[in-house]
Amino acid sequence: MKNGLLVFLMVSVLVLNACAQWQATTQPTGGQVEPAQSQGTYKIGVMLPLTGDAAAYGLPIQKSIKIALDEVNAKGGVNGRMLEPVYEDSKCNPKDGNAAAQKLVNVDKVKVIIGGVCSGETMGAAPITEANKVILISPSATSPDITKVGDFVFRVAPSDAYAGTVAAQYAYNELNAKKAAIIAETTDYTQGLAKVFMEQFTKLGGEVAVDEMYNPEDTDFRTQVAKVKAANSDVIYILPQAPAKGILLIKQLKEAGVTTQLLTAEVLIGRNIVAENGADMEGIIGIEQKFDEKNPKAASLLVKYKQQAKEDAPFPGYMSGAYDIVYLLSDAIAKNGYDSEKIRDYLYNVEDYDGAVGKITLDENGDPTMEYSILQVKNGVLVPAQATPHK
């Protein structure tokens, strides 16, 4: 009897354990089986550059994401569950972006990923997320090619198809530049901008006399600088992937005696970059998505960021977009559960969402439409650009 009772008890324990495990893996949300990984939490994948030159904007964006996650979790999370971030260093390139997505999708079993920050890592991740029906939503990847990479890919930063056009129009119409030179890094982001600028500038009637490139590992730009100087252009459009190489390029242009008006994109006009390199950057004109720091949500984020990071937000537009993504995903999960297809459908229906970055409406390609600001470095700070037309 004792042996029989012992066997009975052991079998009962095994059955109860099996039932408990079955219940933990089959909690219904949105009509689908909830993955076992989300016991008590919803995992949110986050892939961004945490090391290397691009960490200059990857780390501030990560801090903005954490601020939003902490806010949501402090209010009880979503549907009674905490949001649990899983961070991967995607290093701003396609190879590491692909590897980060593979790990987040296949090992961590996430259904949503915030990222990448750079266009290259986003493009590298997209085939993985698309094949597995995982949401990939970026705060700052702007290559025009991202528009067509998949049905589960979104972003809250405008395509360079618009930014490159704005740059070309400003150069031709406001600076009266008829001959332009381009120096761009060989990445998806910078080459996308260069291509659009070239197409639009020539369409307006201008000439791109020099189109020079450099590799991410390069530090000596004297060959490119010499060609640009010899072209005697009216404006030089410089496009680094990360600020460090951009500052180095500016210094080498100045050392060569180049005094031509410099035009650039948002990466090089981060507030901390301008503050630290004001003398070298004096007069440079940069184009970034329009951002209202007095927006209540943005103002709150910027105050919290400064309190935590002990610095002003270097890329407030992108950082606000990252903050907004957390809230968009929280709302989508609250209404639809941890169901990527329903989250996808929710995102395609986002219209006039009142975010820190401003009003967000996502189109049929998962892209937002936003306005731009044209700013210039004057005495170490950014101010609205005052065009001095080329004569």
pLDDT digits (tens, 9 = 90+) for 80-131: 999 999 999 999 999 999 999 999 999 999 999 999 999 999 999 999 999 9
DSSP 259-273: -SEEEEEGGGG-HHH
Share of the chain above pLDDT 70, in %: 89
Res 23 pLDDT > 70: no
More confident residue, 34 or 191: 191
- Give the pLDDT of residue 39: 57
Closest CA to 80 of 39, 140, 31, 141: 39
Helix, strand and coil in the chain, % to nearest 5: 50, 20, 30
Residues 6+ apart with CB under 8 A from 388: 175, 261
Res 293 pLDDT > 70: yes
1-10, 250-259, 272-281, 329-338: segment of lowest average pLDDT:
1-10
Where does the pLDDT of residue 20 fall: very low under 50, low under 70, confident under 90, or very high at 90 and above?
very low
Res 22 pLDDT > 80: no
Contact 109, 45 (CB under 8 A): no
Q: For residues 97 and 364, give the distance between their C-alpha atoms in angstroms, rounded to a whole number.
A: 25
The mean pLDDT of 220-229, rounded to a whole number, is 97
- Give the pLDDT of residue 132: 98
Closest CA to 42 of 70, 78, 71: 78
Where does the pLDDT of residue 17 fall: very low under 50, low under 70, confident under 90, or very high at 90 and above?
very low
The mean pLDDT of 298-325, rounded to a whole number, is 97
The mean pLDDT of 57-62, rounded to a whole number, is 97
- Give the pLDDT of residue 391: 61
How does the average pLDDT of the chain come out, rounded? Answer: 90
Q: For residues 264 and 284, give the distance between their C-alpha atoms in angstroms, rounded to a whole number.
A: 7
Q: For residues 141 and 117, give the distance between their C-alpha atoms in angstroms, rounded to a whole number.
A: 5
Q: For residues 116 and 123, give the distance between their C-alpha atoms in angstroms, rounded to a whole number.
A: 8
Res 31 pLDDT > 90: no
Q: For residues 267 and 240, give the distance between their C-alpha atoms in angstroms, rounded to a whole number.
A: 7
- Give the pLDDT of residue 47: 98
Burial of 317 (C-beta count, 10 Å sphere; 0-12/13-18/19+): buried
7-11, 125-129, 149-153, 259-263: segment of lowest average pLDDT:
7-11
Tokens of 65: 């994401």
The mean pLDDT of 204-223, rounded to a whole number, is 97
User: N- to C-terminal Cα distance for the chain?
Assistant: 105
In this structure, the chain runs to a length of: 391
Amino acid code (one letter) for 348: Y
**Residue 80 φ/ψ region, left for φ over 0, alpha for ψ in the -120 to 50 degree band, beta for the rest:** left
Q: For residues 235 and 264, give the distance between their C-alpha atoms in angstroms, rounded to a whole number.
A: 10
CB atoms within 10 A of CB 283: 12
Res 19 pLDDT > 80: no
CB atoms within 10 A of CB 231: 18
Q: For residues 34 and 42, give the distance between their C-alpha atoms in angstroms, rounded to a whole number.
A: 10
Res 231 pLDDT > 80: yes
Where would I find the beta strands (DSSP E) of 146-253? 153-155, 179-185, 207-214, 235-239
- Give the pLDDT of residue 28: 33
Res 195 pLDDT > 90: yes
- Give the pLDDT of residue 389: 77
- Give the pLDDT of residue 25: 34
- Give the pLDDT of residue 27: 35
